[in-house]
């Protein structure tokens, strides 16, 4: 009789996740078996539950795109060993035991907690590879981060500051602005009290790079505050729609617009992903990154975690312990 485990499961599109008991997975040839300690929620999980994500999965399915755990078993010569603490980037991380390919797994620093590691990859990986690999952010440049108190926004603030950029964080409300300042922002803008974001950004010196996980009007306003030769990073659309960017401005001002989807690099350039993650682990080990502790909930409270994301009430990542 197979071992039974607990997991979250989306039983039908448009529904909240349920907590169910299912058989533990059996590893296929060359796979790694992991006992999961924690998994993080991302905005993509909300979209997947609605059937609106670019990588559609038909229900029923176990949600979750990243997490952290311990190796139970692994194939020989894969660079892993039983008992090793690792992060994993793969669909279905919101279960107590999962089976994945070795390429989706990477060891974590000894000083990193499982809760920190669970929400580290997608958010920090997105910001690091977008800022360094696509926008070429350099010390002294001006970086504007929209949604700066969110799961990816705070990481962009931290990484931008660690790279020596002058960071302007845009967020809503005093509590979120305090978190953005603590993450390393040099200047902040309260979007709830700013009727003209473009003017506010220009008053602060404009932008060389805009990091936009929000879209809609905030993305459009920040785009118009870019300097000639600037870079616009389109990370996501938390506001509900993409920004309507005036391409004539991009032409006249020689602005580069980057679409960036971290998960796509698993097939586009997997080595770039692993190299970026190792660089991030090195920054963490050197004390230059401090993952913000967001809401940490038990598996039984996963519907509450989804609600926190949907209502944009979380600061940092929402982590589910398993």
- The answer to the question of residue 278 being in a domain is no
* 145 and 172 in a common domain: yes
Count of domains observed in the chain = 2
- The answer to the question of residue 112 being in a domain is yes
Which of 25, 38, 212 lies closest to 121, judged by CA?
38
* 40 and 161 in a common domain: no
Cβ 276 vs Cβ 250: under 8 Å = no
* 127 and 114 in a common domain: no
Q: What is the pLDDT of residue 200?
A: 98
- The answer to the question of residue 128 being in a domain is yes
Which of 89, 113, 88 lies closest to 35, judged by CA?
88
**What's the token pair of residue 3?**
């071992």
Q: What is the pLDDT of residue 293?
A: 64
- The answer to the question of residue 297 being in a domain is yes
Q: What is the pLDDT of residue 28?
A: 86
Cα dihedral 298, 300, 304, 308 sign: positive
pLDDT mean by block of 10 residues, the chain; 322 residues:
87 92 92 97 89 85 96 93 96 97 93 93 94 96 96 93 96 94 97 96 98 97 98 94 96 97 89 91 90 87 92 82 96
Helix/strand/coil for 231? strand
* 128 and 116 in a common domain: no
Q: What is the pLDDT of residue 220?
A: 98
Q: At 296, give phi and psi (nearest 5°).
A: -115, 120
- The answer to the question of residue 247 being in a domain is yes
Which of 150, 151, 131, 147 lies closest to 139, judged by CA?
131
Helices 302-310 and 43-50, packing angle to 10 deg: 100
- The answer to the question of residue 277 being in a domain is no
Q: Model pTM?
A: 0.85
Q: Which domain holds residue 54?
A: 4-120+291-321
Q: What is the pLDDT of residue 263?
A: 86
* 244 and 128 in a common domain: yes
* 309 and 225 in a common domain: no
* 10 and 83 in a common domain: yes
- The answer to the question of residue 83 being in a domain is yes
236: domain CATH number is 3.40.50.720
Q: CB 299: neighbour CB atoms within 10 A? A: 19
How many whole angstroms separate alpha carbon 179 and alpha carbon 177?
5
* 257 and 137 in a common domain: yes
* 138 and 108 in a common domain: no
- The answer to the question of residue 286 being in a domain is no
């Amino acid at each position: 009789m197979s071992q039974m485990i607990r997991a979250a499961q989306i039983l039908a599109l448009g529904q909240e996740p349920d907590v169910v008991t299912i058989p533990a997975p059996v590893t296929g040839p060359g796979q790694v078996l992991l006992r999961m300690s924690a998994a993080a929620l991302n905005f993509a999980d909300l979209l997947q539950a609605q059937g609106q994500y670019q990588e559609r999965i038909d229900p029923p399915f176990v949600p979750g795109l990243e997490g952290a755990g311990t190796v139970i078993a692994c194939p020989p010569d894969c660079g892993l060993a039983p008992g090793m603490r690792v992060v994993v980037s793969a669909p279905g991380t919101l279960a107590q035991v999962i089976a994945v390919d070795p390429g989706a797994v990477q060891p974590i620093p000894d000083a990193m907690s499982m809760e920190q590691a669970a929400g580290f990859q997608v958010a920090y990986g997105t910001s690091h590879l977008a800022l360094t690999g696509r926008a070429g952010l350099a010390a002294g440049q001006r970086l504007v981060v929209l949604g700066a108190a969110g799961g990816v926004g705070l990481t962009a603030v931290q990484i931008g500051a660690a790279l020596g950029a002058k960071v302007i964080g845009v967020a809503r409300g005093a509590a979120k602005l305090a978190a953005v300042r603590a993450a390393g922002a040099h200047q902040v803008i309260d979007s709830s009290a700013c009727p003209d974001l473009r003017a506010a950004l220009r008053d602060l010196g404009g932008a060389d790079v805009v990091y936009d996980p929000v879209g809609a009007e905030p993305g459009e306003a920040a785009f118009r505050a870019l300097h000639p030769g600037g870079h616009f990073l389109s990370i996501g659309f938390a506001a509900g729609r993409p920004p309507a960017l005036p391409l004539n401005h991009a032409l006249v001002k020689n602005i580069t617009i980057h679409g960036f989807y971290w998960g796509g690099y698993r097939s586009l350039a997997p080595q770039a992903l692993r190299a970026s993650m190792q660089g991030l682990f090195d920054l963490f080990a050197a004390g230059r990154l401090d993952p913000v502790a967001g809401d940490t909930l038990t598996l039984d409270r996963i519907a509450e975690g989804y609600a926190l994301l949907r209502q944009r009430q979380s600061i940092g990542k929402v982590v589910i312990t398993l």
